[in-house]
Amino acid sequence: MALSMKDCVVGTIIDHAQDFTEDGRICNRSVYRRGIIVGVDKTSGGVAGVSVKFSVESEPEKLDIALLHKVLSSSTKVAVEAYRRIVGAPKNIGATIVAKKGLFRPKLQDALALTPVGEKGPVKPSDEEETIAGMALEDTGA
């Protein structure tokens, strides 16, 4: 299916299926390139073009939307996961973590991925002795 203006959304998976010839006509490519939209160039009249990444290492290429075909919408699970990999976002952002100890197991919503994986808790105790103005905070029994 051809790419329409409403499909020009960051995260949409597309095929670069056509190209311009030297005389300005559109012709089919012999090899389609599959990519993901990472940027949209908007104008007052609509969409001027889109930036598409075809691999993780490459820079985004600016292409005309007339040359692209839609493969998957940006809201599908496959497209969301692919965009996460391309951008390099961590997978556990927004994870819900269940505590492993305690009478009841409360869920912790960690939207910023602050809990380290494989550790006993989100905060490690410091190795330094805690003092205030040279006095220890522990009760010495005196």
Q: State the Cα angle at 90 between 38 and 94, rounded to 5°.
A: 100
pLDDT tens digit at each of 142 positions of the chain: 568 888 899 998 888 888 889 998 988 888 888 888 999 998 888 888 899 888 878 899 999 888 898 888 888 888 888 888 887 776 666 655 655 666 555 565 555 455 556 555 455 555 555 655 566 666 555 5
Which residue, of 87, 103, 136, is where some domain finishes?
Answer: 87
The bridge status of strand 95-98 relative to strand 107-110 is antiparallel
16 and 80 share a domain? yes
Is residue 50 within 8 A of residue 68, CB to CB? The reply is yes
83 and 29 share a domain? yes
115: domain range? Answer: 90-119
Instruction: Report the pLDDT value the prediction gives residue 40, as an integer from 0 to 100.
Output: 92
The amino acid at residue 115 is: T
- Provide the domain count of the chain: 2
Instruction: Report the pLDDT value the prediction gives residue 6, as an integer from 0 to 100.
Output: 87
Interatomic CA distance for residues 118 and 124, integer angstroms: 12
Locus of tokens 């905070």: 137
20 inside domain: yes
Interatomic CA distance for residues 68 and 63, integer angstroms: 8
Interatomic CA distance for residues 54 and 74, integer angstroms: 16
26 and 81 share a domain? yes
81 and 97 share a domain? no
CB-neighbour burial class of residue 12 (10 A; exposed 0-12, middle 13-18, buried 19+) = buried
- The β-bridge partners of 68 are 16
103 Cα distance to chain centroid:
36
Its pTM stands at 0.61
Is residue 66 within 8 A of residue 24, CB to CB? The reply is no
Instruction: Report the pLDDT value the prediction gives residue 94, as an integer from 0 to 100.
Output: 60
136 inside domain: no
